[in-house]
Amino acid sequence: MKTFGGPALFLDRSDINTDEIIPAKYLTEITKEDLKPYLLEDLKLPGFDPKAEKTRSAGVVVARANFGCGSSREHAPWVFEVNGITAVIAESFARIFRQNMFNCGMAAIELPAGQIDKLFGYADVADASIAIDVEGQRLTIKGGGREESVSFEISPFDKALVLAGGWVDYADTKY
Amino acid sequence: MGMTTAQKIFAAHLVDEPFAGTKVLKIDVVMCHEITTPIAIADLMARGKDRVFDPTKIKAVIDHVTPSKDSKTATQAKMLRDWARRHDIKDFFDIGANGVCHAIFPEKGFIRPGNTVIMGDSHTCTHGAFGAFAAGVGTTDLEVGILKGVCAFREPKTIRVNLNGTLPKGVFAKDAILHVIGNLGVNGATDRVIEFGGPIVGQMSMESRMTLCNMAIEAGGTSGICAPDMVTVEYLWPFISENFASKEAALAEYGVWASDADAEYDKVIDLDLSNLEPLCTFGYKPDQVKPISEMAGAPVDQVYLGSCTNGRLEDLRIAAQVLKGKKIAPTVRAILSPATPHIYQQANAEGLIEIFMSAGFCVTNPTCGACLGMSNGVLAEGEVCASTTNRNFMGRMGKGGMVHLLSPATAAASAIEGKLADPRKYL
């Protein structure tokens, strides 16, 4: 199982789409590792720079509603994975992106808007980091001398996929 | 309690329910293209599992970048081609026979009412037009589909959208679906199926129904669905005539997949389209929709007619009707990509290609290319495209470019005027 956590990258917008996460022109790459330089290349947000150290060192992304909408490209979870980001926390996800994350053994965690607001309270904290306990369904955010924990819901199937390390092994054993 | 089409299909295809709320379904049709499949193939090979569950249920096409534009896309095409040959996948469509996946697979009669369909492409929802459950999936789901013929879903609820009244002149399925998306919002149908019904859908061709279902994903929907009826049977008849004594017999068998009268919906939306205007998107999300009358005059650098949304013969006929005897404005460039070779040939036989070329259109081979900014019509920074495609995300058709989504008629009118234009004066 992957470990989930690390420095938090806050992307303060709803409807961040897969073209923004990884533009289609890079879908010609055949290996996941080749996607690495293009993380969030077309995302335009005030103060956000895809090449900044803060982006490159992130372990967890925090965003608003309908994250990952648009294309079915699993290149979106992969570009996160090869950059060390194994979890996205958002108010809601587009279905295919959410499933792709769990299918890769990664975590797409939904929290109510109020809890997401609470996490965004750490957006300006330089050392904000999040640790996620998928089995215990609890995450902890730390930074600037503060610390808070919140519990989250995850479907039993999605949890099983994370614990199994993804859908291919799970399915090939079972079906 | 009655059942919806989606509920009936889920019940008939259930393989396992490993946890409450998660249903593993048997998949009838697994469709593949050269962008999302090669990584699945490579992963299966790396795992020592280079197998396919049933080569007759797998359909494959090279469509996103074709003919290949560089070594990387040539490699992707080669990987798919070699794999299809290795596993004896007969329904594989290569250069000369290839077209946009969501146009060519229905054209070949591969999708039937009651089917489950997956593909590593978000616009797979198109095939719900046949009364099927058709969902876009990622590469891992595709990989498992190829290997085992199954896929897991949270059973979606169904939103019923009734399109009532009659479509006014100059208003088409594209305008109807833009109106629906404007109404639902870009995540209004997440984890939902959108079932289209009502008198307007009943009178629509299969092409128009595919245009409706194609954009269900733009509201977050898992699949679009239209009930199978005589229009469906007529479309499929060349492929099924040997299986049924009559069209009525086919309808009787397919009709069972229609939602029951007392089916329970998550939500029912009634939209009277009798006064709808041609529509156009104005921002970077497909739910940002305005009447063309409010958008007319906005600048356009390129007009694009094609894609899985609007590259079918019906679309070309409508656009040609607008363009006949006219020239495109000297300030725009216009590109037509008929969605399949068959559509291209038909359009040629009907004289439509002549109309487009005389008007000043560049006619390219069938491909997805420009729609997602990969080839055959990529925008430069700051350029604007009036496009019959399905996504207006910032940079979608090229970094720094903007897209206005609209119908083929509105695209054609905009080509003539060199700016966004109302098609009704040309019809």
* Residue-range domain boundaries for chain A: 4-174
B61-71 core/surface letters (b: 16 or more CB in 10 A; e: else): bbbbbbbbeee
pLDDT value for A172: 86
What is the pLDDT at residue A1? 67
Q: Locate B26 and state its tokens.
A: 């048997």
| Beta pairing class for B116-119 and B29-33 | parallel
Q: Is A175 in a helix, a strand, or coil? A: coil
Residue in B340, B283, B332, B331 with CA at minimum distance from that of residue B306: B340
pLDDT at B34: 98
Phi and psi at residue B238, in whole multiples of 5°?
-55, -25
CATH for B281-426? 3.30.499.10
Token pair listed for B70: 């560089």
Report the alpha-carbon distance of residue B265 to residue B209 in Å, rounded.
20
CA neighbours within 13 Å on the CB side: how many for B130?
27
**pLDDT surpassing 80 at residue A2:** no
CA distance B42 to chain A (A): 9
- For each of chain B's 427 residues, which pLDDT tens digit applies? 899 999 999 999 999 999 999 999 999 999 999 999 999 999 999 999 999 999 999 999 999 999 999 999 999 999 999 999 999 999 999 999 999 999 999 999 999 999 999 999 999 999 999 999 999 999 999 999 999 999 999 999 999 999 999 999 999 999 999 999 999 999 999 999 999 999 999 999 999 999 999 999 999 999 999 999 999 999 999 999 999 999 999 999 999 999 999 999 999 999 999 999 999 999 999 999 999 999 999 999 999 999 999 999 999 999 999 999 999 999 999 999 999 999 999 999 999 999 999 999 999 999 999 999 999 999 999 999 999 999 999 999 999 999 999 999 999 999 999 999 999 999 9
Cβ of B18 within 8 Å of Cβ of A20? The answer is no
- Measured CA to CA in angstroms, residue B199 lies from A73, B203, B204, B326 at distances of 36, 6, 9, 34
ipTM of the complex: 0.96
Q: What is the DSSP letter of B218?
A: G
Q: Do B226 and B196 contact (CB within 8 A), yes or no?
A: yes
Q: Where are the beta strands (DSSP E) in B264-301?
A: 267-272, 279-281, 289-291
The whole-number pLDDT of residue B23 equals 98
Average pLDDT, chain A: 96
Does residue B125 have a known ligand-binding role? Answer: no
Per residue in A72-98, pLDDT (tens digit) is 999 999 999 999 999 999 999 999 999
State the DSSP code for B369: G
Question: Which pLDDT does position A170 carry in this prediction?
Answer: 87
Partner-chain contact B140 A156, CB within 8 Å: no
Superfamily name with CATH number, domain A4-174: Aconitase, domain 4 (3.20.19.10)
Distance of CA B88 to the CA centre of its chain: 27
Which residues numbered 54-83 in A keep a CB inside 8 Å of some CB on B?
65-66, 69-74, 77
* C-alpha span between B38 and B27 (Å, rounded): 20
State the CATH class of domain B5-269. alpha beta
How many whole angstroms separate alpha carbon B89 and alpha carbon B276? 45
Same fold, B5-269 and B281-426: yes
Stretch A16-28: mean pLDDT, rounded? 96
For residue B396, the distance in angstroms to the closest alpha carbon of chain A comes to: 7
Q: Is the pLDDT of residue A153 over 70?
A: yes
For residue A173, the model assigns a pLDDT of: 86
Contact (CB, 8 A) for B296 and B414: no
d(C-alpha B123, C-alpha B38), whole Å: 19
**How much is the pLDDT for B258?**
98
What is the number of CB-based contacts under 8 A between chain A and chain B?
Answer: 145
Out of B38, B138, B394, name the one closest to residue A99 (CB).
Answer: B138
**Rounded mean pLDDT, A58-68:** 98
Residue B194: phi, psi to the nearest 5?
-105, 115
Domain ranges of chain B: 5-269, 281-426
| Structure confidence at residue A38 as a pLDDT band (50, 70, 90) | very high
Considering only the beta carbons, identify the residue of B42, B49, B120 that sits closest to A72: B120
User: Which residues does chain B have within 8 Å of residue A174's beta carbon, measured at their own beta carbons?
Assistant: 16, 18
Instruction: Give the other-Cβ count within 10 Å of A105's Cβ.
Output: 22
Smallest Cα distance from B346 to chain A, Å: 31
**Chain B CA closest to residue A65:** B187
Distance (Å, whole) CA B289 – CA B307:
20
Q: Which of residues 8-47 of A touch B (CB under 8 A)?
A: 15, 17, 19-20, 23-25, 27-32, 42, 44
